[in-house]
């Protein structure tokens, strides 16, 4: 049966303001000049939805933002990528969240890499405002797959997520989750939640913290006992995936890294593309790694996201 959307993303909305150069502030009303300022798509969910749309998937986004300059910017940019944002709630008087990234490096477009140490200042705004009731029955019936990122920031949605995923799966959708880091370090409630997750997409530190394992291989094995597929991001070392008795590992591409913001979310988009097309574990992992690696060649989370044609140059034909 044809669906209107390949993936429905229930997520947070906030742009990133990236300041690059000598960005260490000096208090006492001292004004400093920086090399560059870039307002770009931020938030894990929005970067994911744009990366998946860039690959040609039909994407819908449900979330909450304010009727302000940051909210309008995010909706305009997501629409520019072909994402359906008609189900986003725009609250008059509400404040859209914002992350200010202080990037200690050279400006985008310079001959030197902008990769370096960074600090992030985030105003949460309406990041936590999405409610399970916003993910309507009609949206679920129109979609093949449901994805959630930033689990620990979406505190209103969080307690209802196991039931939402279970309901989505009862309707025939598959599900995926990228939690991001738990600030409390407690990782509560995941036994129940992971039972309803078809694809779990943690990074190395998150997987180790969640399982208490001492190696990524052991963490992947433990997580795979609780959910269908685990795709574990290893940064510069690539990624590891496990499903049943299948294990795959793929190194990162040898690219000149400019900025790693959003690389994990762009990896997620590539891997889920392969999952939805019933690719082998190895081939889906190769696409995920290609997408994540290629995205690091430009500043910001979305500017370097590849098309499917571009990414497939780095994927073998097997599987």
pLDDT at 105: 63
With both helix axes pointing from N to C terminus, report the angle between 44-54 and 69-80 in degrees, rounded to the nearest 10.
20
For the record, the structure tokens of 109 come out as: 């477009």
pLDDT digit string (tens) for 108-160?
A: 444 344 455 778 898 999 999 999 999 999 999 999 999 999 999 999 999 99
CA distance 78 to 19: 22
pLDDT at 114: 44
Mean pLDDT by 10 residues, the chain (319 residues): 93 93 90 91 97 98 98 98 98 95 63 59 94 97 97 95 98 96 84 95 95 95 95 96 96 91 96 98 98 93 96 82
Q: Are strands 98-103 and 118-123 parallel, antiparallel or unpaired?
A: antiparallel
CA 113 from centre of chain: 23
Q: Are strands 143-149 and 89-91 parallel, antiparallel or unpaired?
A: unpaired
Q: Using DSSP, state whether 185 is helix, strand or coil.
A: coil
pLDDT at 106: 52
Q: What is each CA distance from 15 to 44, 71, 306, in whole angstroms?
A: 10, 8, 20
pLDDT at 109: 42
Q: pTM for this one?
A: 0.93
pLDDT at 111: 35
Q: List residues bridging with 20 in a β-sheet.
A: 36, 103
Q: List residues bridging with 247 in a β-sheet.
A: 242
CB 181 within 8 A of CB 151: no
Q: Using alpha carbons only, how large is the chain's radius of gyration in Å? A: 19
Cβ of 189: how many Cβ atoms within 10 Å?
13
pLDDT at 1: 66
CA angle at 283 for the pair 51 and 199, rounded to the nearest 5°: 60
Q: What is the CATH number of domain 5-25+36-314?
A: 3.40.1190.20
Looking from the CA of 210 toward its CB, the CA atoms found within 13 Å total: 30
Cβ of 225: how many Cβ atoms within 10 Å?
9
Burial of residue 59 (CB within 10 Å: 0-12, 13-18, 19+) is: buried
Q: Using DSSP, state whether 286 is helix, strand or coil.
A: helix
CA angle at 78 for the pair 106 and 207, rounded to the nearest 5°: 70
pLDDT at 112: 40
């Amino acid at each position: 049966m044809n669906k209107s959307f390949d993936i429905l993303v229930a997520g947070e909305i906030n742009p990133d303001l990236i300041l690059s150069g000598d960005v260490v502030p000096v208090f006492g009303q001292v004004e400093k000049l920086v090399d560059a300022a870039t307002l770009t798509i931020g938030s894990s969910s929005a970067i994911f939805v744009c990366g998946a749309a860039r690959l040609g998937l039909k994407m819908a986004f449900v979330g909450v933002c304010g009727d302000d300059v940051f909210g309008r910017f995010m909706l305009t940019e997501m629409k520019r990528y072909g994402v359906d944002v008609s189900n986003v709630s725009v609250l008059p008087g509400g404040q859209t969240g914002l992350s200010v990234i202080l990037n200690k490096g050279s400006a985008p477009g310079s001959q030197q890499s902008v990769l370096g140490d960074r600090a992030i200042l985030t105003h949460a705004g309406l990041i936590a405002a999405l409610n399970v009731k916003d993910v309507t029955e009609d949206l679920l019936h129109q979609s093949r797959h449901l994805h959630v990122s930033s689990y620990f920031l979406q505190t209103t949605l969080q307690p209802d997520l196991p039931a939402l995923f279970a309901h989505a799966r009862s309707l025939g959708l598959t599900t995926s989750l990228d939690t991001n880091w738990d600030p409390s370090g407690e990782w509560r409630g995941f036994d129940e939640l992971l039972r309803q997750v078809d694809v779990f997409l943690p990074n190395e530190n998150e997987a180790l913290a969640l399982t208490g394992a001492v190696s990524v291989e052991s963490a992947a094995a433990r997580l795979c006992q609780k959910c269908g597929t685990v795709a574990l991001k290893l940064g510069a070392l690539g990624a590891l995936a496990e499903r049943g008795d299948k294990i795959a590992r793929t190194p990162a591409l040898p690219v000149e890294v400019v900025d790693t913001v959003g690389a994990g979310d762009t990896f997620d988009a590539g891997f889920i593309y392969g999952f939805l097309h019933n690719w082998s574990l190895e081939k889906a992992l190769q696409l995920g790694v290609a997408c994540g690696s290629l995205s690091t060649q430009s500043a910001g989370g979305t500017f370097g996201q590849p098309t499917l044609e571009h990414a497939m140059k780095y994927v073998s034909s097997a599987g």
